[in-house]
Structure 1
Protein backbone atom coordinates (compact mmCIF):
# COMPACT_ATOMS: atom_id res chain seq x y z
CA UNK A 1 0.00 0.00 0.00
CA UNK A 2 1.43 3.38 -1.04
CA UNK A 3 0.97 6.31 1.32
CA UNK A 4 0.23 9.82 0.08
CA UNK A 5 0.98 13.11 1.80
CA UNK A 6 0.49 16.79 1.06
CA UNK A 7 2.44 19.80 2.32
CA UNK A 8 -0.06 22.57 2.98
CA UNK A 9 1.10 26.18 2.75
CA UNK A 10 0.23 28.29 5.78
CA UNK A 11 1.10 31.78 4.54
CA UNK A 12 -1.65 34.26 5.41
CA UNK A 13 -4.03 31.54 6.63
CA UNK A 14 -6.79 32.24 9.09
CA UNK A 15 -7.79 29.44 11.45
CA UNK A 16 -10.82 28.65 9.30
CA UNK A 17 -8.83 28.64 6.06
CA UNK A 18 -6.23 26.32 7.56
CA UNK A 19 -8.70 23.83 8.97
CA UNK A 20 -10.63 23.84 5.67
CA UNK A 21 -7.44 22.92 3.80
CA UNK A 22 -6.70 20.10 6.22
CA UNK A 23 -10.21 18.67 5.92
CA UNK A 24 -10.08 18.91 2.14
CA UNK A 25 -6.83 16.94 2.12
CA UNK A 26 -8.44 14.27 4.27
CA UNK A 27 -11.49 14.14 1.98
CA UNK A 28 -9.22 13.65 -1.06
CA UNK A 29 -7.69 10.59 0.58
CA UNK A 30 -4.28 11.88 1.69
CA UNK A 31 -2.71 9.83 4.46
CA UNK A 32 -0.46 12.58 5.79
CA UNK A 33 -1.10 16.30 6.23
CA UNK A 34 2.26 18.04 6.57
CA UNK A 35 3.33 21.55 7.54
CA UNK A 36 6.44 23.28 6.12
CA UNK A 37 8.98 25.40 7.99
CA UNK A 38 9.88 28.74 6.41
CA UNK A 39 10.10 32.20 7.96
CA UNK A 40 7.34 33.65 5.78
CA UNK A 41 4.87 30.98 6.94
CA UNK A 42 3.04 30.32 10.18
CA UNK A 43 4.95 28.43 12.86
CA UNK A 44 4.83 24.69 12.18
CA UNK A 45 3.97 23.21 15.58
CA UNK A 46 0.78 25.20 16.27
CA UNK A 47 -0.36 24.43 12.72
CA UNK A 48 0.35 20.73 13.26
CA UNK A 49 -1.78 20.66 16.40
CA UNK A 50 -4.62 22.47 14.64
CA UNK A 51 -4.38 20.08 11.67
CA UNK A 52 -4.81 17.17 14.05
CA UNK A 53 -7.85 18.80 15.66
CA UNK A 54 -9.42 19.44 12.24
CA UNK A 55 -9.00 15.87 10.96
CA UNK A 56 -9.40 12.33 12.25
CA UNK A 57 -7.56 9.94 9.94
CA UNK A 58 -4.33 11.43 8.50
CA UNK A 59 -0.97 11.40 10.16
CA UNK A 60 0.39 14.88 10.88
CA UNK A 61 3.90 15.61 9.66
CA UNK A 62 6.51 18.34 9.46
CA UNK A 63 8.01 18.58 5.97
CA UNK A 64 10.60 19.51 6.99
CA UNK A 65 11.91 21.41 9.99
CA UNK A 66 15.07 23.43 9.40
CA UNK A 67 17.19 22.10 12.25
CA UNK A 68 19.57 25.06 12.06
CA UNK A 69 16.77 27.26 13.41
CA UNK A 70 16.30 25.31 16.65
CA UNK A 71 18.09 24.76 19.93
CA UNK A 72 18.02 21.01 20.44
CA UNK A 73 16.58 21.10 23.96
CA UNK A 74 13.83 23.51 22.97
CA UNK A 75 13.05 21.53 19.83
CA UNK A 76 12.79 18.38 21.95
CA UNK A 77 10.29 20.18 24.19
CA UNK A 78 8.21 21.30 21.19
CA UNK A 79 8.23 17.81 19.69
CA UNK A 80 7.30 16.19 23.00
CA UNK A 81 4.48 18.69 23.61
CA UNK A 82 3.10 18.28 20.09
CA UNK A 83 3.23 14.50 20.36
CA UNK A 84 1.41 14.67 23.69
CA UNK A 85 -1.35 16.75 22.07
CA UNK A 86 -1.45 14.92 18.72
CA UNK A 87 -0.62 11.42 19.92
CA UNK A 88 0.78 8.73 17.66
CA UNK A 89 -0.33 10.65 14.58
CA UNK A 90 2.78 12.85 14.66
CA UNK A 91 5.60 12.19 12.16
CA UNK A 92 8.72 14.33 12.46
CA UNK A 93 10.48 15.46 9.29
CA UNK A 94 13.89 17.11 9.64
CA UNK A 95 16.21 18.79 7.15
CA UNK A 96 19.40 20.83 7.12
CA UNK A 97 17.99 24.01 5.56
CA UNK A 98 18.80 25.39 2.14
CA UNK A 99 17.41 28.95 1.74
CA UNK A 100 20.31 31.33 2.40
CA UNK A 101 18.05 34.39 2.62
CA UNK A 102 16.14 32.84 5.53
CA UNK A 103 19.34 32.21 7.46
CA UNK A 104 20.38 35.82 6.88
CA UNK A 105 17.00 37.13 8.01
CA UNK A 106 17.17 34.99 11.15
CA UNK A 107 20.72 36.12 11.87
CA UNK A 108 22.01 32.54 11.68
CA UNK A 109 25.20 31.75 9.73
CA UNK A 110 24.39 29.87 6.54
CA UNK A 111 27.70 28.07 6.71
CA UNK A 112 28.47 25.23 4.34
CA UNK A 113 26.61 22.11 3.32
CA UNK A 114 28.95 20.20 5.64
CA UNK A 115 28.29 22.46 8.64
CA UNK A 116 24.53 22.24 8.12
CA UNK A 117 24.81 18.45 7.89
CA UNK A 118 26.82 18.52 11.14
CA UNK A 119 23.98 20.41 12.77
CA UNK A 120 21.34 17.97 11.51
CA UNK A 121 23.34 14.98 12.76
CA UNK A 122 23.75 16.61 16.16
CA UNK A 123 20.05 17.43 16.48
CA UNK A 124 18.99 13.89 15.52
CA UNK A 125 21.35 12.43 18.12
CA UNK A 126 20.18 14.79 20.86
CA UNK A 127 16.49 14.28 20.08
CA UNK A 128 16.87 10.51 20.34
CA UNK A 129 18.77 10.89 23.60
CA UNK A 130 16.19 13.27 25.09
CA UNK A 131 12.96 11.75 23.84
CA UNK A 132 13.87 8.09 23.91
CA UNK A 133 10.85 5.87 23.31
CA UNK A 134 8.60 8.92 22.95
CA UNK A 135 10.45 10.01 19.80
CA UNK A 136 7.94 10.11 16.91
CA UNK A 137 8.75 8.38 13.62
CA UNK A 138 11.52 10.33 11.92
CA UNK A 139 11.87 11.34 8.27
CA UNK A 140 15.04 12.88 6.85
CA UNK A 141 15.27 14.08 3.26
CA UNK A 142 18.00 15.15 0.90
CA UNK A 143 20.15 14.15 -2.05
CA UNK A 144 23.82 14.15 -1.05
CA UNK A 145 25.73 11.24 0.43
CA UNK A 146 25.98 12.53 3.97
CA UNK A 147 22.32 13.41 4.52
CA UNK A 148 21.09 10.24 2.82
CA UNK A 149 23.49 8.11 4.87
CA UNK A 150 22.17 9.68 8.07
CA UNK A 151 18.60 9.09 6.93
CA UNK A 152 19.32 5.50 5.97
CA UNK A 153 20.83 4.75 9.37
CA UNK A 154 18.63 6.77 11.75
CA UNK A 155 15.24 7.56 10.17
CA UNK A 156 12.13 5.51 9.63
CA UNK A 157 11.54 7.31 6.32
CA UNK A 158 14.08 8.53 3.77
CA UNK A 159 12.78 11.31 1.51
CA UNK A 160 14.31 11.85 -1.93
CA UNK A 161 14.21 15.32 -3.46
CA UNK A 162 16.06 14.19 -6.57
CA UNK A 163 17.30 17.76 -6.87
CA UNK A 164 20.84 18.68 -5.84
CA UNK A 165 21.98 22.29 -5.72
CA UNK A 166 23.41 23.30 -9.09
CA UNK A 167 25.86 26.16 -8.93
CA UNK A 168 25.48 26.96 -12.63
CA UNK A 169 21.77 27.65 -12.14
CA UNK A 170 22.02 29.13 -8.66
CA UNK A 171 19.32 26.73 -7.43
CA UNK A 172 18.36 23.07 -7.33
CA UNK A 173 17.67 21.10 -10.50
CA UNK A 174 16.27 17.61 -11.02
CA UNK A 175 18.45 14.65 -11.89
CA UNK A 176 17.44 11.99 -14.41
CA UNK A 177 15.90 8.61 -13.63
CA UNK A 178 19.20 6.71 -13.55
CA UNK A 179 20.79 9.21 -11.15
CA UNK A 180 17.82 8.93 -8.83
CA UNK A 181 18.06 5.14 -8.98
CA UNK A 182 21.70 5.43 -7.91
CA UNK A 183 20.64 7.51 -4.89
CA UNK A 184 18.12 4.85 -3.90
CA UNK A 185 20.79 2.17 -4.23
CA UNK A 186 23.12 4.27 -2.08
CA UNK A 187 20.50 4.44 0.68
CA UNK A 188 19.85 0.70 0.58
CA UNK A 189 23.57 0.00 0.92
CA UNK A 190 24.01 2.56 3.71
CA UNK A 191 21.01 1.19 5.61
CA UNK A 192 22.68 -2.15 6.21
CA UNK A 193 20.01 -4.45 7.58
CA UNK A 194 17.47 -1.66 8.08
CA UNK A 195 14.56 -1.20 5.66
CA UNK A 196 13.44 2.43 5.91
CA UNK A 197 10.36 3.60 4.05
CA UNK A 198 11.24 5.46 0.85
CA UNK A 199 9.49 8.76 0.15
CA UNK A 200 9.49 10.86 -3.03
CA UNK A 201 8.70 14.57 -3.38
CA UNK A 202 7.61 15.29 -6.99
CA UNK A 203 8.28 18.87 -8.05
CA UNK A 204 5.07 19.23 -10.05
CA UNK A 205 1.91 17.38 -11.01
CA UNK A 206 -0.03 18.38 -14.14
CA UNK A 207 -3.15 16.68 -15.44
CA UNK A 208 -3.11 16.89 -19.23
CA UNK A 209 -3.94 14.79 -22.29
CA UNK A 210 -0.65 15.78 -23.94
CA UNK A 211 2.07 14.42 -21.67
CA UNK A 212 4.97 15.68 -23.75
CA UNK A 213 3.60 19.21 -23.90
CA UNK A 214 2.89 19.16 -20.17
CA UNK A 215 6.43 18.09 -19.36
CA UNK A 216 7.87 20.67 -21.74
CA UNK A 217 6.26 23.33 -19.57
CA UNK A 218 8.16 21.94 -16.58
CA UNK A 219 11.59 22.10 -18.18
CA UNK A 220 12.66 24.86 -15.77
CA UNK A 221 12.95 22.19 -13.07
CA UNK A 222 15.45 20.19 -15.14
CA UNK A 223 16.94 22.47 -17.82
CA UNK A 224 19.65 20.04 -18.92
CA UNK A 225 17.45 16.95 -19.39
CA UNK A 226 16.22 15.87 -22.80
CA UNK A 227 12.56 15.38 -23.66
CA UNK A 228 12.99 11.62 -23.35
CA UNK A 229 14.62 11.98 -19.95
CA UNK A 230 11.77 14.19 -18.76
CA UNK A 231 9.33 11.43 -19.70
CA UNK A 232 11.20 9.01 -17.42
CA UNK A 233 12.03 11.17 -14.41
CA UNK A 234 9.88 10.21 -11.38
CA UNK A 235 9.96 13.69 -9.87
CA UNK A 236 7.77 15.25 -12.57
CA UNK A 237 4.21 14.02 -13.15
CA UNK A 238 2.29 14.98 -16.29
CA UNK A 239 -0.49 13.11 -18.07
CA UNK A 240 -4.04 11.93 -17.66
CA UNK A 241 -5.07 10.64 -14.22
CA UNK A 242 -4.80 7.10 -15.57
CA UNK A 243 -1.30 7.72 -16.93
CA UNK A 244 -0.19 9.31 -13.69
CA UNK A 245 -1.52 6.42 -11.64
CA UNK A 246 0.40 4.04 -13.90
CA UNK A 247 3.57 6.13 -13.48
CA UNK A 248 3.28 6.10 -9.70
CA UNK A 249 2.87 2.32 -9.68
CA UNK A 250 5.73 1.83 -12.14
CA UNK A 251 8.11 4.05 -10.20
CA UNK A 252 7.05 2.52 -6.91
CA UNK A 253 8.00 -0.90 -8.28
CA UNK A 254 11.29 0.24 -9.82
CA UNK A 255 12.59 2.35 -6.94
CA UNK A 256 10.67 1.04 -3.96
CA UNK A 257 8.84 4.27 -3.20
CA UNK A 258 6.08 3.55 -0.69
CA UNK A 259 5.18 7.14 0.15
CA UNK A 260 4.60 10.13 -2.15
CA UNK A 261 4.37 13.73 -0.91
CA UNK A 262 3.12 16.61 -3.06
CA UNK A 263 2.92 20.35 -2.54
CA UNK A 264 -0.49 21.95 -1.97
CA UNK A 265 -0.67 23.33 -5.51
CA UNK A 266 -0.90 19.72 -6.74
CA UNK A 267 -3.37 18.55 -4.10
CA UNK A 268 -6.55 18.51 -6.19
CA UNK A 269 -4.92 16.94 -9.25
CA UNK A 270 -3.09 14.35 -7.19
CA UNK A 271 -6.35 13.51 -5.46
CA UNK A 272 -7.51 12.05 -8.80
CA UNK A 273 -4.49 9.74 -8.76
CA UNK A 274 -5.22 8.61 -5.22
CA UNK A 275 -8.79 7.70 -6.21
CA UNK A 276 -7.47 5.43 -8.99
CA UNK A 277 -4.97 3.71 -6.71
CA UNK A 278 -7.32 2.95 -3.81
Structure 2
Protein backbone atom coordinates (compact mmCIF):
# COMPACT_ATOMS: atom_id res chain seq x y z
CA UNK A 1 0.00 0.00 0.00
CA UNK A 2 1.35 3.42 -0.97
CA UNK A 3 2.18 5.63 1.99
CA UNK A 4 2.51 9.12 0.60
CA UNK A 5 3.73 10.48 3.93
CA UNK A 6 7.07 8.70 3.69
CA UNK A 7 10.03 10.25 1.88
CA UNK A 8 13.39 8.76 1.01
CA UNK A 9 16.73 10.40 0.38
CA UNK A 10 20.21 9.31 -0.63
CA UNK A 11 23.47 11.14 0.07
CA UNK A 12 25.68 10.87 -3.01
CA UNK A 13 29.48 10.88 -2.87
CA UNK A 14 30.99 13.21 -5.44
CA UNK A 15 34.66 12.28 -5.08
CA UNK A 16 36.38 11.57 -8.38
CA UNK A 17 33.26 11.63 -10.57
CA UNK A 18 33.22 12.78 -14.16
CA UNK A 19 30.18 14.90 -15.06
CA UNK A 20 28.63 11.96 -16.93
CA UNK A 21 29.21 9.58 -14.00
CA UNK A 22 27.73 12.02 -11.53
CA UNK A 23 24.64 12.67 -13.62
CA UNK A 24 24.11 8.96 -14.27
CA UNK A 25 24.22 8.23 -10.53
CA UNK A 26 21.66 10.94 -9.91
CA UNK A 27 19.38 9.64 -12.67
CA UNK A 28 19.63 6.18 -11.16
CA UNK A 29 18.60 7.53 -7.75
CA UNK A 30 15.58 9.20 -9.32
CA UNK A 31 14.69 5.97 -11.13
CA UNK A 32 14.84 4.01 -7.85
CA UNK A 33 12.25 6.32 -6.34
CA UNK A 34 14.30 8.59 -4.09
CA UNK A 35 12.61 11.88 -3.23
CA UNK A 36 15.80 13.74 -2.38
CA UNK A 37 19.38 13.56 -3.62
CA UNK A 38 21.81 14.90 -1.06
CA UNK A 39 25.26 16.37 -1.57
CA UNK A 40 27.64 16.45 1.43
CA UNK A 41 30.13 19.17 2.38
CA UNK A 42 33.59 17.79 3.13
CA UNK A 43 36.97 19.00 1.93
CA UNK A 44 37.86 15.64 0.35
CA UNK A 45 34.78 15.84 -1.90
CA UNK A 46 33.76 18.14 -4.71
CA UNK A 47 32.10 21.43 -3.82
CA UNK A 48 28.45 21.02 -2.83
CA UNK A 49 26.85 23.83 -4.84
CA UNK A 50 28.16 22.87 -8.31
CA UNK A 51 27.43 19.22 -7.47
CA UNK A 52 23.85 20.13 -6.49
CA UNK A 53 23.22 22.10 -9.66
CA UNK A 54 24.56 19.29 -11.86
CA UNK A 55 22.39 16.79 -9.95
CA UNK A 56 19.42 18.99 -10.73
CA UNK A 57 20.24 19.17 -14.42
CA UNK A 58 20.26 15.36 -14.57
CA UNK A 59 16.90 14.91 -12.83
CA UNK A 60 13.39 16.35 -12.84
CA UNK A 61 11.54 15.18 -9.74
CA UNK A 62 13.71 14.87 -6.59
CA UNK A 63 14.61 17.67 -4.26
CA UNK A 64 18.34 18.40 -4.30
CA UNK A 65 19.58 18.70 -0.74
CA UNK A 66 22.75 20.00 0.83
CA UNK A 67 23.20 17.25 3.42
CA UNK A 68 24.65 19.23 5.05
CA UNK A 69 26.53 22.47 4.54
CA UNK A 70 29.09 23.22 7.23
CA UNK A 71 27.77 26.65 8.17
CA UNK A 72 31.05 27.50 9.92
CA UNK A 73 32.97 27.40 6.63
CA UNK A 74 31.08 30.23 4.97
CA UNK A 75 30.70 33.98 5.00
CA UNK A 76 26.96 34.23 5.51
CA UNK A 77 26.39 36.91 2.87
CA UNK A 78 28.22 34.88 0.23
CA UNK A 79 26.46 31.71 1.35
CA UNK A 80 23.06 33.40 0.94
CA UNK A 81 24.02 34.36 -2.61
CA UNK A 82 25.09 30.78 -3.40
CA UNK A 83 21.92 29.33 -1.87
CA UNK A 84 19.69 31.68 -3.82
CA UNK A 85 21.59 31.04 -7.06
CA UNK A 86 21.39 27.27 -6.58
CA UNK A 87 17.65 27.44 -5.92
CA UNK A 88 17.18 29.52 -9.08
CA UNK A 89 19.21 27.11 -11.22
CA UNK A 90 17.38 24.16 -9.64
CA UNK A 91 14.03 25.81 -10.40
CA UNK A 92 12.99 25.76 -6.77
CA UNK A 93 14.10 22.22 -5.87
CA UNK A 94 16.80 23.05 -3.31
CA UNK A 95 16.54 21.72 0.24
CA UNK A 96 18.95 23.58 2.48
CA UNK A 97 20.66 21.39 5.06
CA UNK A 98 22.87 23.23 7.56
CA UNK A 99 25.13 21.83 10.25
CA UNK A 100 27.93 22.78 12.61
CA UNK A 101 30.66 20.61 11.11
CA UNK A 102 32.39 18.00 13.23
CA UNK A 103 35.73 17.06 11.59
CA UNK A 104 38.42 19.06 13.38
CA UNK A 105 41.06 18.36 10.70
CA UNK A 106 38.84 20.03 8.09
CA UNK A 107 38.54 23.18 10.20
CA UNK A 108 42.31 23.25 10.59
CA UNK A 109 42.88 22.80 6.86
CA UNK A 110 40.39 25.58 6.09
CA UNK A 111 41.91 27.92 8.66
CA UNK A 112 38.64 28.10 10.61
CA UNK A 113 38.63 27.89 14.42
CA UNK A 114 37.14 24.59 15.57
CA UNK A 115 36.28 25.66 19.11
CA UNK A 116 33.94 23.78 21.36
CA UNK A 117 30.66 22.15 20.39
CA UNK A 118 28.91 25.12 22.01
CA UNK A 119 30.98 27.51 19.87
CA UNK A 120 29.99 25.70 16.69
CA UNK A 121 26.31 25.60 17.59
CA UNK A 122 26.46 29.30 18.38
CA UNK A 123 27.87 30.03 14.94
CA UNK A 124 25.12 27.89 13.38
CA UNK A 125 22.48 29.87 15.30
CA UNK A 126 24.02 33.06 13.97
CA UNK A 127 24.01 31.70 10.41
CA UNK A 128 20.32 30.79 10.58
CA UNK A 129 19.38 34.23 11.91
CA UNK A 130 21.50 36.11 9.38
CA UNK A 131 20.28 34.07 6.43
CA UNK A 132 16.69 34.95 7.27
CA UNK A 133 17.57 38.63 7.05
CA UNK A 134 19.64 38.27 3.90
CA UNK A 135 16.88 36.41 2.06
CA UNK A 136 14.52 39.24 2.96
CA UNK A 137 16.86 41.80 1.32
CA UNK A 138 15.44 42.60 -2.10
CA UNK A 139 18.84 43.93 -3.13
CA UNK A 140 20.27 40.39 -3.06
CA UNK A 141 19.53 37.41 -5.34
CA UNK A 142 16.23 35.91 -4.29
CA UNK A 143 15.59 32.15 -4.18
CA UNK A 144 12.63 30.76 -6.09
CA UNK A 145 11.20 29.30 -2.87
CA UNK A 146 10.03 32.06 -0.57
CA UNK A 147 10.92 33.21 1.94
CA UNK A 148 13.74 30.67 1.50
CA UNK A 149 14.31 27.03 0.55
CA UNK A 150 13.13 24.53 3.18
CA UNK A 151 15.69 24.29 5.96
CA UNK A 152 16.98 21.03 7.46
CA UNK A 153 19.01 21.00 10.68
CA UNK A 154 20.17 17.89 12.47
CA UNK A 155 21.89 16.83 15.65
CA UNK A 156 21.35 15.21 19.02
CA UNK A 157 22.12 17.88 21.60
CA UNK A 158 19.22 19.86 23.02
CA UNK A 159 20.54 23.24 21.87
CA UNK A 160 20.84 22.32 18.19
CA UNK A 161 17.56 20.39 18.27
CA UNK A 162 15.84 23.42 19.82
CA UNK A 163 17.20 25.54 16.96
CA UNK A 164 15.88 22.99 14.47
CA UNK A 165 12.51 22.64 16.17
CA UNK A 166 11.90 26.39 16.10
CA UNK A 167 13.31 27.23 12.67
CA UNK A 168 13.66 24.24 10.33
CA UNK A 169 11.20 22.47 8.08
CA UNK A 170 13.14 19.22 8.58
CA UNK A 171 14.64 18.03 11.87
CA UNK A 172 17.22 15.29 11.38
CA UNK A 173 17.93 13.09 14.39
CA UNK A 174 21.48 11.78 14.40
CA UNK A 175 21.02 9.77 17.59
CA UNK A 176 24.80 9.73 17.95
CA UNK A 177 26.35 12.14 20.47
CA UNK A 178 30.09 12.36 20.97
CA UNK A 179 31.12 9.76 23.54
CA UNK A 180 34.37 10.64 25.34
CA UNK A 181 34.76 7.06 26.57
CA UNK A 182 34.94 5.89 22.94
CA UNK A 183 36.72 8.96 21.54
CA UNK A 184 34.00 9.24 18.86
CA UNK A 185 30.26 9.28 18.41
CA UNK A 186 28.09 6.37 19.53
CA UNK A 187 24.45 5.51 18.91
CA UNK A 188 21.91 5.94 21.69
CA UNK A 189 19.21 3.37 22.32
CA UNK A 190 15.56 3.64 21.30
CA UNK A 191 14.23 5.26 24.52
CA UNK A 192 16.98 7.92 24.46
CA UNK A 193 16.10 8.79 20.87
CA UNK A 194 12.40 8.93 21.73
CA UNK A 195 13.21 11.44 24.50
CA UNK A 196 14.82 13.73 21.88
CA UNK A 197 11.87 13.32 19.52
CA UNK A 198 9.49 14.28 22.33
CA UNK A 199 11.72 17.25 23.17
CA UNK A 200 11.49 18.52 19.58
CA UNK A 201 7.72 18.10 19.60
CA UNK A 202 7.48 20.27 22.70
CA UNK A 203 9.84 22.90 21.29
CA UNK A 204 7.93 23.10 17.99
CA UNK A 205 4.44 22.93 19.50
CA UNK A 206 3.60 26.58 18.80
CA UNK A 207 4.51 26.43 15.10
CA UNK A 208 1.62 26.44 12.65
CA UNK A 209 3.27 23.74 10.52
CA UNK A 210 5.19 21.02 12.30
CA UNK A 211 8.61 20.01 10.91
CA UNK A 212 9.28 16.70 9.20
CA UNK A 213 11.38 14.21 11.15
CA UNK A 214 14.36 12.74 9.33
CA UNK A 215 16.96 10.11 10.17
CA UNK A 216 20.15 9.09 8.36
CA UNK A 217 20.98 5.39 8.32
CA UNK A 218 24.58 4.78 9.39
CA UNK A 219 24.52 1.40 7.65
CA UNK A 220 21.95 -0.45 5.55
CA UNK A 221 22.52 -4.21 5.30
CA UNK A 222 20.30 -6.59 3.35
CA UNK A 223 20.62 -9.98 5.04
CA UNK A 224 18.62 -12.99 6.20
CA UNK A 225 20.58 -13.15 9.46
CA UNK A 226 19.72 -9.91 11.23
CA UNK A 227 21.41 -10.74 14.51
CA UNK A 228 24.74 -11.69 12.96
CA UNK A 229 24.70 -8.56 10.82
CA UNK A 230 23.90 -6.40 13.84
CA UNK A 231 26.86 -7.87 15.71
CA UNK A 232 29.09 -6.80 12.83
CA UNK A 233 27.82 -3.23 13.28
CA UNK A 234 28.58 -3.07 17.00
CA UNK A 235 31.18 -0.32 16.43
CA UNK A 236 28.29 2.13 15.93
CA UNK A 237 26.95 1.45 19.42
CA UNK A 238 29.58 -0.36 21.50
CA UNK A 239 27.47 -0.31 24.66
CA UNK A 240 24.22 -1.45 23.00
CA UNK A 241 23.20 -5.09 22.93
CA UNK A 242 22.03 -6.83 19.77
CA UNK A 243 18.34 -6.21 20.38
CA UNK A 244 19.03 -2.52 20.96
CA UNK A 245 21.06 -2.27 17.75
CA UNK A 246 18.20 -3.86 15.83
CA UNK A 247 15.74 -1.42 17.40
CA UNK A 248 17.37 1.91 16.53
CA UNK A 249 16.28 3.68 13.31
CA UNK A 250 19.87 4.65 12.49
CA UNK A 251 20.64 1.10 11.32
CA UNK A 252 18.61 -0.77 8.68
CA UNK A 253 19.28 -4.50 8.93
CA UNK A 254 17.38 -7.47 7.50
CA UNK A 255 15.62 -8.55 4.36
CA UNK A 256 13.95 -5.84 2.28
CA UNK A 257 10.51 -6.71 3.74
CA UNK A 258 11.93 -6.60 7.29
CA UNK A 259 13.51 -3.19 6.71
CA UNK A 260 10.26 -1.93 5.16
CA UNK A 261 8.43 -3.06 8.30
CA UNK A 262 11.11 -1.41 10.46
CA UNK A 263 10.51 1.88 8.64
CA UNK A 264 6.74 1.64 9.05
CA UNK A 265 7.22 0.94 12.76
CA UNK A 266 9.55 3.89 13.27
CA UNK A 267 7.11 6.09 11.40
CA UNK A 268 4.18 4.95 13.55
CA UNK A 269 6.02 5.05 16.88
CA UNK A 270 8.35 8.05 16.48
CA UNK A 271 6.77 10.07 13.71
CA UNK A 272 9.79 9.66 11.42
CA UNK A 273 8.69 10.23 7.83
CA UNK A 274 11.91 11.04 5.98
CA UNK A 275 14.56 8.31 5.76
CA UNK A 276 17.99 8.88 4.21
CA UNK A 277 20.73 6.40 3.30
CA UNK A 278 24.27 6.74 2.02
CA UNK A 279 25.11 6.09 -1.63
CA UNK A 280 26.67 2.61 -1.07
CA UNK A 281 23.20 1.47 0.08
CA UNK A 282 21.33 3.15 -2.77
CA UNK A 283 20.55 0.02 -4.79
CA UNK A 284 19.71 -2.18 -1.82
CA UNK A 285 17.49 0.42 -0.20
CA UNK A 286 15.80 0.95 -3.55
CA UNK A 287 14.32 -2.54 -3.07
CA UNK A 288 12.83 -1.35 0.23
CA UNK A 289 11.34 1.75 -1.39
CA UNK A 290 9.70 -0.45 -4.02
CA UNK A 291 8.00 -2.53 -1.31
CA UNK A 292 6.69 0.53 0.52
CA UNK A 293 5.41 2.15 -2.64
In the other structure, the counterpart of 2:204 is: 191
The equivalent position to 1:261 in structure 2, one of 265, 272, 276, is: 276
Q: What is the deviation of 1:192?
A: 2.3
* Local SS of the residue matching 1:234: coil
Q: Give the whole-Å Cα distance in 1 for the aligned partners of 2:270 and 2:56.
A: 31
| Contact kept in structure 2, 1:152 and 1:188, CA below 8 Å | yes
Q: How much is the aligned-residue C-alpha RMSD, in angstroms?
A: 0.8
Q: Give the whole-Å Cα distance in 2 for the aligned partners of 1:118 and 1:231.
A: 34
* Local SS of the residue matching 2:159: helix
Q: What is the deviation of 1:88?
A: 1.7
* Local SS of the residue matching 2:43: coil
In the other structure, the counterpart of 1:19 is: 23
The equivalent position to 1:104 in structure 2, one of 100, 103, 108, is: 108
Give matches, 1:232-271, under 5 Å.
232-271=247-286
In the other structure, the counterpart of 2:64 is: 60
In the other structure, the counterpart of 2:54 is: 50
The structure 1 segments of at least 4 consecutive aligned residues displaced by more than 3 Å after TM superposition are none
In the other structure, the counterpart of 1:200 is: 215
Q: What is the deviation of 1:17?
A: 1.0
* Local SS of the residue matching 1:62: strand
The equivalent position to 2:173 in structure 1, one of 157, 160, 174, is: 160
Q: Give the whole-Å Cα distance in 2 for the aligned partners of 1:54 and 1:3.
A: 20
* Local SS of the residue matching 1:193: coil
1:86-109 deviation per Cα after TM superposition (whole angstroms, max 9, x unaligned): 122111000011000100111111
In the other structure, the counterpart of 2:245 is: 230
Q: Give the whole-Å Cα distance in 2 for the aligned partners of 1:7 and 1:230.
A: 22
Of 208-217 and 126-135, deviating more is 126-135
The equivalent position to 1:9 in structure 2, one of 9, 13, 33, is: 13
* Local SS of the residue matching 2:114: coil
In the other structure, the counterpart of 2:193 is: 180
Q: Give the whole-Å Cα distance in 1 for the aligned partners of 2:58 and 2:131.
A: 28
- With structure 1 as the length reference, what TM-score do the two structures score? 0.99
The equivalent position to 1:35 in structure 2, one of 39, 43, 49, is: 39
Q: Give the whole-Å Cα distance in 1 for the aligned partners of 2:84 and 2:242.
A: 47
In the other structure, the counterpart of 1:131 is: 135
| Contact kept in structure 2, 1:80 and 1:134, CA below 8 Å | no
Number of aligned residues:
278
Bigger fraction of residues in helix: 1
